Amino acid sequence: MNALIIDDSRAMRRVLRRIVEPLGFAVTEAGDGQEGLNQLSEMDAVDLILVDWNMPVMNGIEFVQAVRADTKRRDLKLVMVTTETEPMKMARALMAGVDEFVMKPFTSDILVDKLRLIGVGSF
């Protein structure tokens, strides 16, 4: 299984990597949405994307919209990891094609439960 982690915070990328690698994911990292799109275009198969909302260059929503615009990527599981809690913003993210949210701060159990909820992996 392959996971793409997109966050401008190197710290958060490391935290997320530490959680998903033991679940069997091979992890690729990107520091913003545009870099994420570039990485995605070079990956043969992606099972999961964990993406931050607030990032420079291209934010998480713009990234999700770009991914969902590609019909080949419609089934890809997208989880937004964010501090955003405003209902209108969350609704906007869901409309854009986010499958699930993980609110910062979170525990590894919370993230793993969310992945189970959207049917990623068999852990």
Partner 1 sequence: MMYLDEETLTQVTSDICTTMLGLPMYPVYDGLVEHTPLTAQVRISGEWNATVEIATTPKVATLIAAQMFSLDPSQIQTADLYDALGEVANMVGGNVKGIVNGELDLSLPSVSERDTQTAGAVGETTVVQMICLEGPLIVTLSESN
Q: Return residues touching partner 1 (CB under 8 A).
A: 8-12, 14-15, 18, 54, 56, 82-86, 104-107
Q: How far is the CB of 27 from partner 1 (least distance, A)?
A: 14
- Comparison of 9 and 47: residue with beta carbon closer to partner 1: 9
Residue 48: count other Cβ atoms within 10 Å of its Cβ.
22
Q: How far is the CB of 107 from partner 1 (least distance, A)?
A: 6
Question: Containing H/E element for 20?
Answer: helix 10-20
Q: How far is the CB of 118 from partner 1 (least distance, A)?
A: 21
- Comparison of 10 and 116: residue with beta carbon closer to partner 1: 10
| 48-51/26-30 β-pairing | unpaired
| Secondary structure (DSSP) of 43-89 | -S--SEEEE-SS-SSS-HHHHHHHHHTSGGGTTSEEEEEES---HHH
- Comparison of 69 and 85: residue with beta carbon closer to partner 1: 85
